[in-house]
Amino acid sequence: MSQEQWKSKIGFIFAAAGSAIGLGAIWKFPYVAGTGGGGAFLLIFLLFTLFLGAPLLIGEFLIGRKTKGDAITTYQRIAPNSSWGIVGIIGVVTCFILLSFYSVVGGWIIIYLFEALTGGLTGLSQDQYGMLFGEIIANPLPTLLAQLTFVLLTIIVVAKGVQKGIENASKIMMPALFILFLLIVIRSLSLDGASEGVKFLFVPDFTKLTSETILIALGQAFFTLSLGASAMVTYASYLPKTQNLPRSALSIVLMNIVIAILAGLAIFPGVFSFGLEPNAGPVLIFAVLPAVFSQMGFGMLFFIAFLILFLFAALTSAFSMIEIIVAAMTKKDKSKRKKYTWTIGILIFIVGIPSCLSYGVMSDVLVFDKTIFDLFDYAVSNVLMPLGALLISIFIPLKLSKSELFEEIRLGSHSGKMFFNVWYYLLKYFTPVAIIIVFMDALGLIDKIFG
């Protein structure tokens, strides 16, 4: 694919934003913020996103565009005869496990879409939505079928290599998602008792912060920006040298933050107004949103529109996950693209089956006290992605000289020395140190050493 290019500068931004904006901002952010205590979590998440996520995103873009390599080759080209390729392998493994449970949630969207279209969601009371959803996802056959459908949609698009066709669709879908979110937020803010939800999201209560929630906020910052898995490295490898990398990165960071906050504002007022619990976990958005929509004129119509856009956002992220695996595996023989995409996709579906059943027949199967779904989610978000991010932040300043980096960043942008230095030092010192501290803290080591 190295000779392939995005169709336009804005096309790349949409593709990379498409990878970034997905279940992470819309589905995961509200539920981890809900479990993590609201405002304090949001604040920490924002700090991590701005000071660790943004520099790292620029970094991933930079090495991807510089080497024009896939996730694994990039590291090998910059550091030949070293074992740094392992960073890319971690990325490939991360994306594999990630898509295995991501597709479960993608399936839930498809099921809801089906239910909404066939009238299964009309005329319920607020708490019935949560119950209905619990019943739906406990049912193995439809959920597996929906998960398979999600995987198949991903495979078909990526096997054809037509993600670039998606650029065009993104130009309409992304702004539409944004506008629809605004509408939902307006409605949810006018619910009785909405202010409780707003307070929950924006007023930090630091007593709720634990070492674990800080780690989750860190993982969330990387998850939403698709960082640490070399997905952004791969996407940037299809870029011309004229792309302004810092500007692209910052606009993606900003869009992501806006969507996450809108998702929070769409959900938490409803949670408090309907007397639900903010810490309901992965099912939160599915239990709350239909109830909010049911309070709107033409609610079902808007809900269907929302689900379509939500599905689209999830799919564009899923494309990038499978793309990085396929790109890394087909570097020598592009003609195998189709075969690899199908094989990998089907394998991912099979590995994802236990995650799907975690909400039904396998809900009692616990490993480290977690269901398989939660375990995979935890491993990807809170271990693999921060680990990948740590290694990338060490790799870049170690293997590329400051002047090389400055030269590369200036291609397509007019970044001054000052901006460059801020970026460079954040990436070189702040990012690895912060990740190590958060890891150590979560393992209880900080208390042991200093306590």
Question: Could you list the residues that contact ligand PHE (CB under 6 A)?
Answer: 19-20, 22-25, 95, 98, 223-224, 226, 229, 231, 317, 320-321
Residues 429, 432, 435, 441: is their CA dihedral positive or negative? negative
Q: Write down the least CB distance from residue 338 to ligand PHE, Å.
A: 21
In DSSP terms, 130 is beta-bridged to none
Biggest alpha carbon distance in the chain?
64
Compute the distance between CA of residue 400 and CA of residue 359 in angstroms, rounded to an integer.
Answer: 46
Q: Write down the least CB distance from residue 118 to ligand PHE, Å.
A: 27
Residue nearer to ligand PHE on the CB measure, 95 or 375:
95
Residue nearer to ligand PHE on the CB measure, 126 or 163:
163
Q: Could you tell me the two tokens for 16?
A: 């990379």
Residues 39, 311, 92, 244: is their CA dihedral positive or negative? negative
Q: Write down the least CB distance from residue 19 to ligand PHE, Å.
A: 5
In this chain, which residue has its C-beta nearest to ligand PHE?
Answer: 24
Compute the distance between CA of residue 402 and CA of residue 391 in angstroms, rounded to an integer.
Answer: 18
Q: Write down the least CB distance from residue 18 to ligand PHE, Å.
A: 9
Residue nearer to ligand PHE on the CB measure, 200 or 310:
310
Residue type, 409: I
Would you say 17 and 185 are in contact if contact means Cβ atoms under 8 Å apart?
no
Residue nearer to ligand PHE on the CB measure, 6 or 424:
6
Any residues with CB less than 8 A from the CB of 446 and at least 6 apart, and which? Answer: 211, 437, 440
Residue nearer to ligand PHE on the CB measure, 121 or 267:
267
Q: What are phi and psi for residue 84, nearest 5 degrees?
A: -65, -15
Q: Write down the least CB distance from residue 192 to ligand PHE, Å.
A: 32
Q: How many CA within 13 A on the CB side of residue 82?
A: 16
Compute the distance between CA of residue 227 and CA of residue 20 in angstroms, rounded to an integer.
Answer: 9
Compute the distance between CA of residue 135 and CA of residue 138 in angstroms, rounded to an integer.
Answer: 5
Local structure of residue 370 (DSSP, 8 states): B
Q: Write down the least CB distance from residue 222 to ligand PHE, Å.
A: 8
Residue nearer to ligand PHE on the CB measure, 320 or 355:
320
Q: Write down the least CB distance from residue 80 to ligand PHE, Å.
A: 26
Q: Which among 384, 410, 405 has a CA at the least distance from the CA of 63?
A: 405
Residue nearer to ligand PHE on the CB measure, 151 or 276:
151
Q: Which among 259, 359, 354 has a CA at the least distance from the CA of 309?
A: 259
Would you say 302 and 183 are in contact if contact means Cβ atoms under 8 Å apart?
yes
Q: Write down the least CB distance from residue 91 to ligand PHE, Å.
A: 8
Residue nearer to ligand PHE on the CB measure, 254 or 445:
254
